[in-house]
Amino acid sequence: MMIAVFQFCLQTLVPTLCVGTSLALLGWIGPNAATAAPKEDKYWRVHDIRPGMKGVGRTVLKGTKVETFQVEVLGVLRNTSPGRDLVICRLSGLNLEKTGVIAGMSGSPVYIDGKLVGAVAYAWPYGKEPIAGVTPFCQMNGFVEAFERRDTIRATPSSPPQNEERRGRGVGLRQPLVIDGHEFHTVTVAQSFEEAKPAASDGLWMMPLRTPLSAAGFTANSLKLLHERCGRFGLVPVQGGAAPARLTDQEKDAPLEPGSPLAVALIRGDFDLSGIGTVTHVEGDRVYGWGHPFLSLGSCEFPLMSGYIITVYPRQTVSFKMGAPLKPLGVINADVSTCIAGWLGRKADMLPVRMTVALDADSPARTFHVEIARQPALLPTLVFTALANSVDMEGELPEEMTADLEARIEIEGRDPLVIKDTFSGFSGSRAPQALYSQVGAVVSLLTHNSFQPVRLERIECHTQVRPGRRTAEIESVELASDLYEPGETVKATVFLRPYKGVRQRVLLSLTLPSDLPEGSYTATIGDDLLNARLTLRDNPTLSNPSNLDQVFEAVRVQTSVQRTNLMIRLPLPYGGVALNGKTLPNLPPSMVQILGNSRRTGAQPLHSALVARQPTAWVIQGSETVRFHVVKHKKTRDE
């Protein structure tokens, strides 16, 4: 099919600000500058930080209680990436000597003499000491201010970074660092979340702390799927659970303060999926956190939530916090290279999704309601994951099964898109992928079309699972005759072999146009899905749309598929062309030849076909072709 399941492939351009650059000199003016900008005397400038300085950090290791740990500055790395520096610190206290720096501590504020240095954001994997990289708050604030004033950062796909950039950038040190008895002359700062075992030449290796993705109500299969799709972006799906109602009520008024858990919701409702990190600073209604990007989306809209830390899960590489979101407090609207930031007192616009699953006709259906963040880069995967989880929640599915799916996608200003189809021929373990890939693909194509924004209003999906495999292979096809006149009806007998069943005969008929030219013709017999593929192939405006209407037309060709339909398709000799995004069908052959062979026009050939369908009780598999001849005077030819 033209549409492929959306895969994450996102890198984002971010502003590059030099430390101390005056934003006013750049001429950027923003309405929230007065309320969003912390006073400079509240935080350190990078050039004032010296090795040996000591301070404290704040974080939560259990519940919502903020605790302190000790910090010693080891050195400052300049220009680890454009406009960015990194403060290398040794942490101690709160048992960090054993756990190391913990994923979920991202954003934990570090203070020296009561002034904010920045946010714990990087760790030393496999290190024997808790060595952390701290993102300076002056750069967190600077990048966010630039984002607010310009408001032009958008999530746009780009080429993946080169291998050396992904592996990390080595930064030489003026004075070597002595850690655990070893002397380091360089520090390599990774530019991605991919874990790599450093070589001796890399020196001290720092990589961004991964983000624990707290998953409540998700199955092990769904978490595996999430990990496969999200792992390279620093997300670690962790099976957790929603905070108990008693704790939610008890902690609902816990203040959001520096060091508090900061949850970013992707899915909430009967299933919950939220990234867990830490608040770095609160200035009025402005909240800063994490010290590194979430997904480098730039402009975004996620629910900003308070959180509850259940425990810390120790690991040999980097331990991580297990937590749960508590209460929506605002919106995360900025996801830049130095941090995430948001506003309190605002409400995120979420996509409502309703899912109903029934295992058989006699069992009551289970209904799930969730809301999903509308971020275009994530929406297809999140929708697919929620749908897959709804059927996976039913437990072990039959090894041989058939499922009826009806999905309705409501779109602002457009008629709904409806997928109503039957699926079979796969094992229960593959059911989520087989059933919902098309829904996720449609969402991906609409949200990533290059013509106009498309707003999805809501998605509803009903899945009916039946035991047993209901497929039938096409064995052979017989025509009533191999000679027809224009206007006659071609009659074909299709022999089907149902799975573990007896051979069946299905009749197909196709009435030929009365003006069909004489000649030899080849018809294809198969399922509706094959017809959709051939239709897209034969129509350039559908396989390569040039406007949003053509995108919707292409989607409707695919969403109208019924896999239980047996179809016969006859390509017609009538030609046409696609020119400047428009179809010009039924042109005279001479005109088609002129336009089609002209390099100047850019015209593409357009093919049409005659199609007839016959519903069956099985999901059709396989295809066959048959040939026949058309003559104007069949009786004369017979004589």
- Cβ distance 320 to 210 under 8 Å? yes
pLDDT tens digits for range 149-169: 765 444 333 333 334 344 455
**Position 26 pLDDT exceeds 90:** no
Residue with token string 């949200």: 447
Single-letter residue type at 20: G
Q: pLDDT value at position 416?
A: 96
Beta bridge partners of 206: 189
* Residue type at 374 in one-letter notation: R
Mean pLDDT over each residue of the chain, to the nearest integer:
82
User: Does the pLDDT at position 8 exceed 70?
Assistant: no
Q: At what angle do helices 220-230 and 431-447 cross, to 10 degrees?
A: 40
CA distance 327 to 342: 15
What per-residue confidence (pLDDT) applies to 115?
A: 96
Whether 24 has a pLDDT exceeding 60, the answer reads: no
Q: Are residues 328 and 305 in contact, defined by beta-carbon separation less than 8 angstroms?
A: yes
Percent of the chain at pLDDT > 90 equals 51
What is the number of other CB atoms lying within 10 angstroms of the CB of residue 233? Answer: 19
User: Of 182, 207, 173, 204, whose CA–CA distance to 193 is shortest?
Assistant: 207
Burial class (CB in 10 A: 0-12, 13-18, 19+), 159: exposed
Q: If you average pLDDT over residues 280-291, what whole number do you get?
A: 95
The confidence band for 277, taking pLDDT boundaries of 50, 70 and 90, is very high
* H or E element at residue 583: strand 582-587
* The residue type at 297: L
- Average pLDDT for 26-47: 62
Q: What is the 3-state secondary structure (H, E, C) of 546-575?
A: CCHHHHHHHHHHHHCCCCCEEEEEEEEEEE
Q: Is the pLDDT of residue 458 over 70?
A: yes
The residue with greater pLDDT, 446 or 228, is 446
- Taking 90 as the threshold, does the pLDDT of residue 28 lie above it? no
Q: What is the pLDDT of residue 9?
A: 33
Instruction: Look at residue 443 and tell me whether its pLDDT is greater than 90.
Output: yes
Determine the average pLDDT of the residues in 491-504: 95
Residue 369: per-residue pLDDT: 97
490: pLDDT strictly greater than 50: yes
Confidence check: pLDDT of 209 > 70? yes
Question: Which has more pLDDT, 169 or 114?
Answer: 114
Give me the residue spans of the domains in the chain.
8-346, 351-467, 471-638
From the number of C-beta atoms within 10 Å of its C-beta (0-12, 13-18, 19+), residue 616 rates as buried
Among 171-180, 308-317, 446-455, 598-607, the minimum mean pLDDT is found in: 598-607
Nearest to 561 by CA among 438, 427, 408: 438
The CA distance from 148 to 129, in Å, is 38
Most confident of 23-37, 153-167, 223-237, 534-548: 534-548
The tens digit of pLDDT for each residue in 292-322 reads 999 888 889 999 999 999 888 877 677 888 8
pLDDT at site 32? 45
Please state which CATH number belongs to domain 351-467: 3.10.20
Do the Cβ atoms of 354 and 271 come closer than 8 Å? no
b/e per residue 307-319 (b: at least 16 CB within 10 A): bbbbebbeeebbb
Q: Who contacts 417 (Cβ-Cβ below 8 Å, separation ≥6)? A: 408, 409, 411, 442, 552, 555, 556, 559
User: Do residues 235 and 225 lie in contact, with contact meaning Cβ atoms separated by under 8 Å?
Assistant: no
The pLDDT assigned to 587 comes to 57
> Who's near 639: CB < 8 A, 6+ residues apart?
none
Helix or strand run (H / E) with residue 249: helix 245-251
In this prediction, residue 231 carries a pLDDT of 56
**Percentage of residues in the chain having pLDDT higher than 70:** 78
* pLDDT score of 22: 31
pLDDT in tens, 380-395: 989 999 999 998 887 7
Mean pLDDT of 527-537: 93
Q: Which residues contact 280 (CB under 8 A, 6 or more apart)?
A: 107, 108, 109, 116, 118, 119, 137, 140, 258, 288, 289, 290, 291, 339
